[in-house]
Structures are given as C-alpha cells and as structure tokens.
Structure 1
C-alpha cells in the first residue's frame, strides 16, 4: 500500500471558491465564511477530503463559497445527507451548515438524531433568531414579543435554546461563538479537534430583518460586561475580570459574585450539569457564556457501524448470487405469446 500523500500547505484564499458571495450587505454570514476560510489551513486537512453540507436558508449557500466538495440539500435534511456521506467514506471531514429555522424547526428531528448518534462532524448553527431567506418570519429561536410578518402582534412562543436542545439530545460537544468575534476561529478549531458531533451555535446578525438583536451582549460598550469566554481550567470571570460566577447552594443555580470570591467556579468542560446551567442563564443580570461549554468525547456512530459490519463479515466470502437466491426465490418464466 502506498503511503498517503502529504497534505499541501494552503492559505485562506485556497479555500475560497470562484463563486460570487451573495448575501445582504453587512450580513454576519460574511464574517463566519471568512472565519472558516481562515481556519481551514490550520486544521491539517485536505480540500479534496472536505465536504460542506447545508440545508435551506441564507447560511445554506455556504458550500458554493468553499473550494471543497459540498451538497446544498433540502430543508432540514442536511444531517441525514451528512450521515450518508460519513458512512460511505469515514475518512472525509464533514461540516454541516444550518440555521436556527433549518435545524430546529423542520429539521429538529434530524438534528436531534444526529446529536444522539454522535456522528463525527462539525455542525455550525447560524442563529439570527429570524427566518431571513423567506423574508422575516419568526423562527423557533425568536424571542417572545418578536414582531414579524407571521407574528404582527408579537410572538407568544417560548423560544428554543439551541445549546440546551443540543445537550438535551445527548451532544458531546457544545460551543458558542459570535459572527464577528476574533475568537470564533479558536472555537472552530476546538470543534474540529473533537471526535464526534461538535455543535456550535453562532450568534449571527441579520441586518435586514433582525438587526442588532444581540446588541445587548455584542455591542462594544457592553461586550466586556456581558460576555463570559470560557477556558478549561480557568476561573469563570467577566466584566474585565472584576466579576465571576459561583454556585448558589440554596437554589443550585448560578449567581454573580466578585472576582475575589472564593466560590468562583473553575470551568470544567466535562461537567455536563454545569454546561446546562451555563447555557440556560437568565438574559438579565448574567453574562452570555461563550467558547467551549461542553467537551466530553464518546465513541462515534460511524465507528460503531464499521465495527459491526466488520464483525458480521468476518470469515465470510462475498457471493452476490448466493445472496440473491437466499430465502424465498422463484423464476418468472416467459409465457408463450398468444397468436
């Protein structure tokens, strides 16, 4: 057997296709695309071994703009197609690009099963809390009171929380990022290093239908106060290092304390209970947890399938004719043609 060829050194430009990028001017998708293209050269992967799979939505144009293989599939079904790709060729590096509507509404069932199965892939969920491609209807993640063409008097739905959904479905890697934040490539690298389904919620601004919905924690004047960037083994500090998070023993919930409080928590990405508390913090009085929230690898789906197939095939000789004739079989004779 010939040794595999060394992977050529690439730049961000090598990962950009020749297609014109077509999103609304100022859309956060541009920033995410650039972050991914800048990250790919650092991952040690080959373009011909990389596949981007998307569903339907603004973000799902992504495969056209990557100089890799790709599938632009149907609404909500990107996880099913990606699963087929990975099972057919486990050596491929599979990325799923989806939105809050694509993944959590019509695709909620597919997303859930992808997460519980733990297929080795990266899921980038662009969350702009609105349906952008279909002109601004409210989505599963839209906040109560959201006014849109489909909720002119304000939404009364309780919004879905993507990371809480992922944890509840059994995800082994959950992270958050912001479209224009400099730390997004670091989150992408951590997701790629994880063996199994890596779920990343990316807060993405829709300048046309939901502009500045994330400004309460992304605007420059409040970012330091409202963003908690998690790092394994380090204290959970924010607000310029002046505040931290601790566990309230009476309510078993998180509370904000001074940075010098002895109860400030140290981030342990393998602590699933803590991960749930972090992604479900109230929107008022607490920061938004960002970075790698949970990372605890487990055996992957495709590895189990391959192992099972190898075990069933051990000691057997492939015989297609015997397989066709196995069990109930019969020959259809050609009847004589009536004159």
Structure 2
C-alpha cells in the first residue's frame, strides 16, 4: 500500500527535549546524522519507533520526534521484536551500546540477528561503560585501566562485527560518529530488508577519549580508513594502496594500489567479510561502510504469513475459544449462619 508521506526536514525529526550528553560526546554527531538521514528515507514519523536499552546512547529516543521506548538494560532487542510483530508496518530502529548489546543483552542481540527481524540496530561502540562512570566493557582493549580494572583489563575484547556475522546477521556495517559517510551507511542499512547491524565508533570524551585516534585522527585517516563500496576495488591511502588475498596463508594483505591482486568488494562474500571485520588496525586500515550484505527472508514476514495461514477460513469467536475443552462453574457456597 503506497501512502503519501509528508515531506520532512532534519528539524522535523528533532524533539523539543534538551539533549543531555557530555559536551563533546560523539553521541551528538550520531544524533545529527540520523536526523539528517530520516527525511531522505521517505518515512513517516508516526510509523517510526526508536527503541533503546540502558546507557548513554539509550537516551536517544527522547531526542527524536517519533515514537520511542527507553527500555531496560540489554532488553531493547526483545522489546523491538515484540513491537515489530505487533505492528509490522512500523519502521523499527534499535539504539544500543557495547555494554548494553554485548554484555547483559548479548543473547537478545544474537537472537534478533539470527532471526533476521526487519529493523536497524545501531551499536554505539566507545569501548567503555560511560553512564556508570568508566568501567571496562566487552569491547575494551587488553590493558584498559578503569575503576573495575585498575591494573588493566586482561579480557580479550569482543569484535562487534565478527559477533554479528557469527550470529547470522545478513547486513553488517561500520561507521564513525563524526564522519560524513555515516549518513550513507545509515541509508544503506535502512534500504536492507532484514536486520541491519551497524557498529558506530563513538568517542567518549570523559572516560575513553581518543581511543580510536589511531584510525580516526586527521593525520592518519587516509592511510587507516578503508571505505568499502560494492563492485569497487578495496583501495585506500588515496588509491596508492589496496587489499588483496594472500592465498598461501589464507588471509588478507596490503599491496600497491595498481596491483592486479586488489580485491573488488563483493558484500555477499561472507568469508572475506570475516577477514575484513578482523583486520588489525596496527597493520591494516579499518574496514568501514557495508562489510557484508546478503538478504534473506525476515522473521516478521514469516510470522505474519504463518498467522494468516492459521487464521484462513476461521471466524474469530472469543466465547467459543474460552468455552473450548473442560469448563466448570464455581458456585458460591451458602454462608454459614
């Protein structure tokens, strides 16, 4: 059903609530990117819902002039699943953080991705618990000093994109909070039918400032950022370098940009997607943009089809349903005198 959607602007998507994040927080940039993206998607505010869990990023729904739920820690994916199944016409966005989605909410995130619910999941990754004052998170690097790891974390961190791929995600992408290309990544995620997983590197200026500087700072960005485009060669450093397959060792390698070995990005290649997601930034550039996309039937459409098939030829009769099977009446006993 094609309905006429009112033309909107970025201001139309901004609520009247005071935005309350720490000055300089990367969340501001992500919020602006989403608000700039929404008008270009041709969606209606009354059919859009933002759902979050707990954390700094989870204040997001307050700042969008649409429907929203600020739910409980780690349960945004569960609430989003129920929301989409109750009203499949809604455009569902999930806003979460590395702690919210990958620690207490890790199982819910996994099941949402493997089920392939039609929604967009934006994971703000700042590699720290910001709201609860700087404890290390599932994505914190080895050696991270925090109130909960005063001698340095010894945990091996989670790679969010690898986790998503391992969970069966059909769309996996990365972006950077302040980068102009984030809008294009968000548009690609929305265009994908199914669960779109987008990891956004978000700088926490208070507890983990400049942790992503090795690939985000202006001085190194050209050499340390590989923005992927379907059907285009994997080139970076102004086209002087590229990514190729090392067939002998079954891994990726950096080659000259004019080499015939440079790979053409195929988002459907899951094996290469894993390798791109795990390229160490000490040796390689950071893979950004759409890393993997291979559409598949969605969970919500399957549930709707199943319900329609089960209801076909049947008439809704609540009283008949209540009376079905064994029934009994509890009689009021005479009151003893």
Normalised TM-score (structure 2): 0.99
- Partner of residue 173, structure 1: 171
Number of equivalenced pairs: 337
User: Aligned pair 1:30/2:28, yes or no?
Assistant: yes
- Partner of residue 95, structure 1: 93
Cα distance in 2 for partners of 1:35, 1:206 equals 17
User: Aligned pair 1:17/2:15, yes or no?
Assistant: yes
- Partner of residue 160, structure 1: 158
- What 5-or-longer segments of structure 2 have no aligned partner? none
User: Aligned pair 1:236/2:234, yes or no?
Assistant: yes
Give the secondary structure class of the aligned counterpart of 1:104: helix
Matches within 5 A, 1:105-120: 105-120=103-118
Contact 2:215 2:281 in 1 (8 A): no
Cα distance in 2 for partners of 1:326, 1:257 equals 71
Equivalent of 1:212, from 210, 213, 219? 210
- Partner of residue 184, structure 2: 186
Deviation at 1:46, TM superposition (A): 0.4
Task: Report the more deviating stretch, 63-72 or 325-334.
Answer: 325-334
CA RMSD between the two structures: 0.8
Give the secondary structure class of the aligned counterpart of 2:33: helix
User: Aligned pair 1:53/2:76, yes or no?
Assistant: no
- What 5-or-longer segments of structure 1 have no aligned partner? none
Deviation at 1:78, TM superposition (A): 0.3
Cα distance in 1 for partners of 2:329, 2:266 equals 65
Normalised TM-score (structure 1): 0.98
Give the secondary structure class of the aligned counterpart of 2:174: strand
- Partner of residue 148, structure 1: 146
Contact 2:54 2:96 in 1 (8 A): yes
> 4+ residue runs of structure 1 moved beyond 2 angstroms?
none
Write the deviation string for residues 137-176 of structure 1: whole angstroms up to 9, x where unpaired: 0000000000000000000000000000000000000000
Cα distance in 2 for partners of 1:5, 1:315 equals 29
Equivalent of 1:132, from 118, 130, 133? 130
Contact 2:222 2:237 in 1 (8 A): yes
Cα distance in 1 for partners of 2:278, 2:131 equals 28
